[in-house]
């Protein structure tokens, strides 16, 4: 008898990565984490200086889902860096600006700052964009903080090298704000004009990564940019623009996503060259674009209530396997809509009444939303991205690998 197998819905790669826990790394693989970047991974540095340009980050509803209080994280809960720390059994990274005078923290420190750019402030001042910067604590400034902090971690080269062998250095995501400044905060910049920034941004990221290697880092994770064409702030700013072509499947703007992919291609090539220069290191690329574009292509596979059931129906002629999924994942209707915002059209983003401001509202179920405040993502979205980065397949070489 010939047996016919029908698979109505078969996504084994997705199932493997989404049903498991965030990670099951070898015990003690990384004993500390040092993180650099912007609001995608700032655990409280910007809040430590009073969050002058965005005070709402210091109050609820920010932090409501996981921490039940505002911590300075630009989300309703955890960030990708938090999930990485959790997967390693490490505490959440404390912000450097709350530890400037100590105490020594052996498990790592976060140097990322809300609004930070890869390029120094002078780059933007020279282009009359300086007043639009949220912070001047760029990637090179954060690197300077690390060098200062290093003296409290170790005193001799041998001691530092030994310590950093079991440390994970995360450089980014960084660069997104270098593009946000001209694209979101001005009305005269085009994608083609800002495209000329990309090589300089990549060079800044590579220079910082090289500097960390010279300081003793051997395991480095460098993420790429998100698909900015799916971000409600961009969709709001450019709706109806001649730069906009909406993808019928995702609802995102193709030209802006192509821009993110251009940045990521240049970064991947630069990291390849860096590996050649430092063959003793493990330099990993984290594909944040790939880890998040899945939400817009297949939203039903993510969010609260996802499950997979296997029903086998057997008769004399066929063996049918039916994979069933819940329909309570990320909502297609709210996929491109900010959970927390002040109206402003179909994407619930209003730059004059942002999340946390008087008159803004919060959705009832954050787990059905990808976007938290129109720029940053929800705890639920970051959780699924983190799974893809930690467990694969969105890190190359894979993150969980024997320490060099």
Q: What is the pLDDT along the chain (404 residues), one digit of tens a residue?
A: 333 333 333 333 333 334 333 434 444 589 999 999 999 999 999 999 999 999 999 999 999 999 999 999 999 999 999 999 999 999 999 999 999 877 778 899 999 999 999 999 999 999 999 999 999 999 999 999 999 999 888 889 999 999 999 999 999 999 999 999 999 998 778 899 999 999 999 999 999 999 999 999 999 999 999 999 999 999 999 988 876 789 999 999 999 999 999 999 999 999 999 999 999 999 999 999 999 999 999 988 875 544 443 444 444 444 444 343 444 568 888 899 999 999 878 999 999 999 999 999 999 999 999 999 999 999 999 999 999 999 989 999 998 654 44
- Residue 77 neighbours by CB distance under 10 Å: 21
Whole-number average pLDDT of the chain: 87
Locate tokens 């709350």: which residue? 98
CA 37 to chain centroid, in Å, comes to: 10
> Residue 341 in 3-state DSSP?
strand
- Alpha-carbon span 75 to 378, nearest angstrom: 6
User: What pLDDT, on the 0 to 100 scale, is given for residue 327?
Assistant: 43
Q: Which of 32, 39, 75, 87 is catalytic?
A: 39
Return the SS3 of 344. Answer: coil
**Omega into 357 within 30° of 0, i.e. cis?**
no
Q: What are phi and psi of 229, to 5 degrees?
A: -70, -5
Instruction: Give the model's pLDDT for residue 400.
Output: 67
Q: How far apart are CA 283 and CA 352, in angstroms?
A: 41
H-helix or E-strand spanning residue 380: helix 379-390
Is 251 buried (19+), middle (13-18) or exposed (0-12) by CB count in 10 A? Answer: middle
Domains belonging to the chain, first-starting first, are 4-396 (3.40.50.1110)
Q: Is 39 a catalytic residue?
A: yes
280 catalytic? Reply is no
As a whole number of angstroms, the distance between CA 310 and CA 321 comes to 7
Residue range 53-74, pLDDT digits in tens: 999 999 999 999 999 999 999 9
Q: How many residues does the chain have?
A: 404
User: Cβ(140)–Cβ(116) under 8 Å?
Assistant: no
Please provide the DSSP assignment of 227-288 as one string.
-GGG-HHHHHHHTT-TT--B-TTT-SBHHHHHHHHHHHHHHHHHHHHHHHH-TTSEEEEE-H
> For this structure, is 373 an active site residue?
yes
3-state secondary structure of 47: helix
Question: Active site residue: 32, 331, 371, 376, which one?
Answer: 376
> What pLDDT does residue 303 have?
56
CA triple 278-283-288, angle to 5 deg: 150
């Amino acid at each position: 008898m010939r047996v016919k197998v029908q698979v109505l819905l078969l996504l084994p790669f997705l199932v493997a990565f989404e049903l498991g826990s965030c990670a099951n790394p070898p015990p003690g693989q990384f004993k500390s984490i040092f993180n650099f970047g912007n609001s995608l991974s700032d655990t409280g540095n910007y809040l430590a200086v009073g969050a002058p340009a965005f005070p709402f980050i210091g109050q609820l509803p920010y932090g409501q889902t996981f921490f039940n209080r505002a911590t300075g994280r630009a989300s309703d809960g955890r960030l990708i860096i938090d999930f990485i720390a959790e997967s390693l059994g490490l505490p959440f990274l404390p912000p450097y600006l709350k530890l400037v005078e100590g105490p020594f923290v052996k498990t790592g420190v976060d140097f990322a700052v809300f609004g930070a750019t890869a390029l120094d402030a002078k780059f933007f001042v020279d282009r009359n964009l300086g007043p639009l910067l949220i912070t001047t604590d760029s990637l090179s400034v954060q690197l300077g903080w690390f060098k200062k902090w290093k003296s409290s971690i170790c005193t001799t080269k041998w001691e530092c090298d030994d310590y950093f062998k079991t440390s994970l250095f995360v450089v980014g995501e960084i660069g997104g704000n270098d593009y946000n400044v001209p694209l979101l905060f001005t009305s005269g910049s085009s994608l083609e004009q800002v495209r000329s920034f990309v090589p300089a941004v990549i060079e800044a990221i590579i220079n910082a990564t090289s500097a960390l290697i010279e300081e003793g880092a051997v395991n480095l994770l460098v993420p790429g940019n998100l698909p900015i064409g799916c971000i409600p702030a961009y969709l709001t700013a450019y709706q109806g623009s001649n730069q906009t072509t909406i993808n019928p499947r995702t609802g995102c703007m193709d030209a802006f996503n192509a821009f993110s992919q251009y940045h990521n291609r240049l970064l991947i090539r630069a990291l390849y060259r860096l590996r050649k220069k430092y063959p003793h290191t493990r330099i990993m690329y984290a594909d944040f674009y790939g880890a998040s574009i899945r939400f817009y292509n297949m939203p039903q596979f993510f969010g609260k209530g996802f499950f997979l059931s296997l029903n086998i129906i057997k008769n004399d002629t066929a063996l049918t396997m039916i994979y069933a999924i819940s329909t309570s994942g990320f909502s297609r209707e709210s996929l491109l809509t900010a959970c927390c915002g002040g109206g402003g059209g179909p994407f619930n983003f209003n730059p004059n009444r942002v999340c946390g401001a008087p008159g803004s509202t919060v959705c009832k179920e954050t787990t059905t939303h990808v976007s938290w405040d129109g720029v940053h993502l929800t705890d639920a979205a970051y959780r699924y991205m983190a799974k893809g980065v930690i467990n694969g397949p969105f890190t190359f070489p894979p993150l969980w690998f024997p320490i060099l």
